[in-house]
């Protein structure tokens, strides 16, 4: 009789932590800015468990069956995924039928386990997109795992005896890990992290760290009884590592260049050490992560991962704010857990239990014949679609109503009188404006209202690209009659050091710096705007134009993505920029009627 691997309850608790971090990150909750590292934790856990299973298998069974291994992985991953793909596809075809080609191609990539490469080819950004984001983008990580599961067992075939087989596999795993970690750094490109983030070659090191941990510290070895002092030391170390990871979750973000030059490798190593300390039965951490609530969430973590992202993407109007956003978020979390429970109970568990102890050929036949579960899946799909469509429609109506009220209020309100700053205006003959897609849309209006301006804007541009742009195209033109306006932050945050370097570059030849803050309902909005406000408060010669506060109660002037101005909004932005510049600088501008606005310096 075959010995089954001991079930590790505390690993479910770690899975629960990982999925909570990922959900919090995608819900755009500010304290989960670095929650994406939950995926790295999943990679380590998966690599550890799968390699443990393979090592136990080749020890107990004379011949390791790759076909059986692959079929078990397919049976574990695909049924719940197929249900998800059906629901998401039908929903998208009902709500936005013009996107049928995009969603079908994403479906095919998901089924084939190549979503990560597909999104690299399509140039789908990992960071949140604004207009029609891909609801299946999260399948990139499952694709990396699927490719890992395809390749890993090949290392254990064709070499005898078993010890030699294990040693050869260990050496190869170490070599691939080193290659992967180096590849991430080589592929990293400031302002475009997609290739480094999505690639199997650049991300597989997390799974390999889990695999090597299974070699060095298999579960049976970790189960040995510990002296009391050693157990206490393990708890102290484990708690410190946990606090370190959670600190990154609160203060980190995916735009830090250090992440791609060893940072994610360190996070994976820390996760592996924490995992070893948590699964040891003699630690208090083991008892903490074995609590019933965490175990319940952890056992459903796969279904939660599948469902959470499409629910957020498809059901969240970008213009939603205030109480409506809180209410919608609360409902989305409930829906995630309801669907995860239904998927776990009626899809995952039946496929897993009904085929234990029989050959993979018999399992395949039983899988095809399971008409009862197919009927249940069909019912679940129908219920899910109705609920999602109803909820999305309701919240869209609420948002539209609140936007209309705000629009009418602003239309009918009297113009406010702005007190002019008590400063002597500076003569100016040229204005260079550098920005992203928000500024790009308003370029014609800006250049018409301010003839001395030159707008250099690009979709997806980030602050890290700015030094090269200035050095190549503008620095040699700077003088005391030059204004440099920077409008960046829509696509990600930046550091105070980068802002200080910009200030030094602009002002060393006497040019004048103007900063336009951002309105982007994503995790980094507050970070960007607070940094700009703090910087201008300590640099009295820098002007801040407050686009955020100005547009916050005029959402009707934004597109459906809640970020980019409409045609009327672009004119509004151009007029705001002109008015604020003419407060501080003396140059000839178009005399069209201006919309009086309020800003901060």
Catalytic residues: 437, 561, 564
Task: Give the pair of three-digit tokens for residue 468.
Answer: 């090269």
Find out whether the peptide bond into 437 is cis, omega within 30 degrees of 0: no
Nearest CA-CA partner of 79 in 381, 477, 410: 381
d(CA 435, CA 458): 7
Nearest one of 129, 259, 137, 276 to 203, comparing CA atoms: 259
168 within 8 A of 203, measured Cβ to Cβ = no
Q: Are 532 and 515 in contact (CB under 8 A)?
A: yes
Report yes or no: 518 and 490 within 8 Å, Cβ to Cβ. Answer: yes
CA distances from 70 to 141, 147, 152, 160, 200 (A): 18, 11, 10, 22, 18
Residue whose pair of structure tokens reads 């996760």 in the numeric block: 271
The pair of three-digit structure tokens given for residue 9, joined into one six-digit string? 């309850």
| 3 state DSSP class of 585 | strand
CB 332 within 8 A of CB 315: yes
Contact between 414 and 596 under an 8 Å Cβ cutoff? The reply is no
Distance CA 71, CA 77 (A): 10
Asked whether the beta carbons of 40 and 264 are under 8 A apart, the reply is yes
Cα–Cα distance between 149 and 43 in angstroms, integer? 12
Q: What does the radius of gyration of the chain's CA atoms come to, in whole angstroms?
A: 27
Rounded distance between C-alpha atoms, residue 289 and residue 317, angstroms: 35
Helix-helix angle 9-26:263-279, to 10 degrees: 140
- The residue count of the chain comes to 601
As a whole number of angstroms, the distance between CA 470 and CA 475 comes to 6
| Among candidate residues 205, 209, 201, the one with its CA nearest the CA of residue 117 | 201
Using a 10 angstrom Cβ sphere, with 0-12 exposed, 13-18 middle and 19 or more buried, the burial of residue 415 is exposed
> Cβ distance 568 to 442 under 8 Å?
no
């Amino acid at each position: 009789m075959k010995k089954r691997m001991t079930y590790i309850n505390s690993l479910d608790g770690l899975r629960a932590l990982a999925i909570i971090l990922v959900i919090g990150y995608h819900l755009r909750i500010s304290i989960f800015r670095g929650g994406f590292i939950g995926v790295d934790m999943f990679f380590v856990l998966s690599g550890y468990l799968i390699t443990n299973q393979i090592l136990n298998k080749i020890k107990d069974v004379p011949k390791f069956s790759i076909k059986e291994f692959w079929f078990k992985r397919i049976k574990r991953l695909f049924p719940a995924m197929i249900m998800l793909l059906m629901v998401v596809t039908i929903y998208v075809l009902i709500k936005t039928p013009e996107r049928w080609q995009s969603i079908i191609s994403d479906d095919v990539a998901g089924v084939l386990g190549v979503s990560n490469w597909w999104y690299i080819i399509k140039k789908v950004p990992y960071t949140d997109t604004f207009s029609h984001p891909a609801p299946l983008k999260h399948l990139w990580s499952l694709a990396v795992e699927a490719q890992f599961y395809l390749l890993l067992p090949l290392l254990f075939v064709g070499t005898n005896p078993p010890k030699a087989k294990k040693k050869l596999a260990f050496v190869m795993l170490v070599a691939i890990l080193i290659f992967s970690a180096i590849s991430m750094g080589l592929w990293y490109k400031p302002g475009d992290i997609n290739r480094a983030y999505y690639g199997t070659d650049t991300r597989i090191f997390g799974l390999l760290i889990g695999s090597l941990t299974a070699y060095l510290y298999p579960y049976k070895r970790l189960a040995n009884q510990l002296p009391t002092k050693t157990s206490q030391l393990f708890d102290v170390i484990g708690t410190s590592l946990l606090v370190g990871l959670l600190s990154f979750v609160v203060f980190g973000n995916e735009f830090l260049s250090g992440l791609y030059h060893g940072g994610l490798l360190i996070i994976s190593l820390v996760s592996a050490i924490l995992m070893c300390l948590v699964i040891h039965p003699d630690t208090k951490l083991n008892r903490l992560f074995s609590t019933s609530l965490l175990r319940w969430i952890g056992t459903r973590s796969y279904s939660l991962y599948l469902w959470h992202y499409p629910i957020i993407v498809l059901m969240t109007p970008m213009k939603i704010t205030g109480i409506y956003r809180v209410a919608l978020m609360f409902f989305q979390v409930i829906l995630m857990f309801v669907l995860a429970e239904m998927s776990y109970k009626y899809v995952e568990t039946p496929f897993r239990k009904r085929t234990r102890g029989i050959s993979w050929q018999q399992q395949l036949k039983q899988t095809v014949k399971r008409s009862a579960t197919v009927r249940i899946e069909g019912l679940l799909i129908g219920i899910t679609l109705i609920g999602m469509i109803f909820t999305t429609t309701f919240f869209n109506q609420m948002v539209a109503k609140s936007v209309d009220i705000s629009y009418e209020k602003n239309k009918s309100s009297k113009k406010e009188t702005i007190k002019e700053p008590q400063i002597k205006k500076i003569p100016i003959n040229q204005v260079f404006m550098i920005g992203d897609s928000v500024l790009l849309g308003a370029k014609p209006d800006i250049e018409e209202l301010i003839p001395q301006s030159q707008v250099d804007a690009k979709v997806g541009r980030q602050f890290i690209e700015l030094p090269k742009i200035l050095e190549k195209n503008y620095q040699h033109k700077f003088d005391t009659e030059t204004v440099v306006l920077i409008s960046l932050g829509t696509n990600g945050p930046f550091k105070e050091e980068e802002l200080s370097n910009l200030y030094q570059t602009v002002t060393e030849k006497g040019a004048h710096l103007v900063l336009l803050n951002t309105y982007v309902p994503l995790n980094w909005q507050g970070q960007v705007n607070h940094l700009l406000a703090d910087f201008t408060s300590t640099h009295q010669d820098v002007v801040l134009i407050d686009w955020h506060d100005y547009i916050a109660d005029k959402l009707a002037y934004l597109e459906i993505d809640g970020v980019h101005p409409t045609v009327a909004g672009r004119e509004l932005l151009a007029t705001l920029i002109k008015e604020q510049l003419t407060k501080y600088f003396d140059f000839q501008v178009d005399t069209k009627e201006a919309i009086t606005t309020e800003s901060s310096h």
